[in-house]
Amino acid sequence: MSIGLTGLEGKIALVTGAGRMRSIGRPIAVALAKAGCHVALTGTGRPPERYPEDEQAADWRDIESVAEEIRALGRRALAVVSDVSKADAVEALLARVSAELGGVDVLANNAGSSRGSDRVPIVDLGIEEWHRVIATNLHGTFYMSRACAQRMVAQGRGGSIVNISSLYARLLSAETGVYTASKLAVNALSTVMAAELGPHGIRVNAVCPGMIDTSRHDDIRHGELWEGIVKTFVPLGRAGTGEDIANMVAFLCSDQGAWITGQHIYIDGGHNFTPRR
In this structure, what CATH number is given to the domain that contains residue 164?
A: 3.40.50.720
Whether the pLDDT of residue 260 is over 60: the answer is yes
The closest of 217, 272, 210, 183 to 20, measured between CA atoms, is 217
Residue 101 domain-assigned? yes
Residue 3 lies in a domain: no
In a domain, residue 205? The reply is yes
Query: What is the residue range of 250's domain?
Result: 12-267
Is 219's pLDDT higher than 70? Answer: no
How far apart, in Å, are the Cα atoms of 76 and each of 100, 109, 116?
10, 20, 35
Residue 217: pLDDT band with limits 50, 70, 90: low
How far from chain centre, in Å, is Cα 230? Answer: 22
Residue 277 lies in a domain: no
Q: How confident is the model at residue 38 (pLDDT cuts 50, 70, 90)?
A: very high
Computed on alpha carbons and rounded to an integer, the radius of gyration of the chain in Å comes to 18
pLDDT tens-digit map of 46-82: 888 888 889 999 999 999 999 999 999 999 999 999 9
Active-site positions read 166, 179, 183
Residue 221 domain-assigned (yes or no): yes
Displacement of CA 240 from its chain's centroid (Å): 14
As a whole number, mean pLDDT of residues 30-37 equals: 98
Largest CA distance in the chain: 56
Bridging pattern class, strands 106-109 and 77-81: unpaired
Task: For the beta carbon of residue 3, count every other beta carbon within 10 angstroms.
Answer: 14
Q: Could you tell me the pTM of the whole model?
A: 0.95
Long-range contacts, stretch 89-95, CB < 8 angstroms, 24+ apart: 90/140, 90/143, 90/144, 90/147, 91/147, 93/40, 93/42, 93/147, 94/14, 94/147, 94/148, 94/151
273 occurs within a structural domain? no
* Total of domains in the chain: 1
CA separation for the pair 254, 217 (Å, rounded): 30
Mean pLDDT of all residues belonging to the chain = 94
Average pLDDT of the segment spanning 96-113? 97
CB neighbour class for 90 (10 Å; exposed up to 12, middle 13-18, buried from 19): buried
Does a structural domain hold residue 6?
no
Residue pair 153/200 in contact (Cβ under 8 Å)? The answer is yes
What is the reported pLDDT for 277? 60
Q: Is 276 within a domain?
A: no
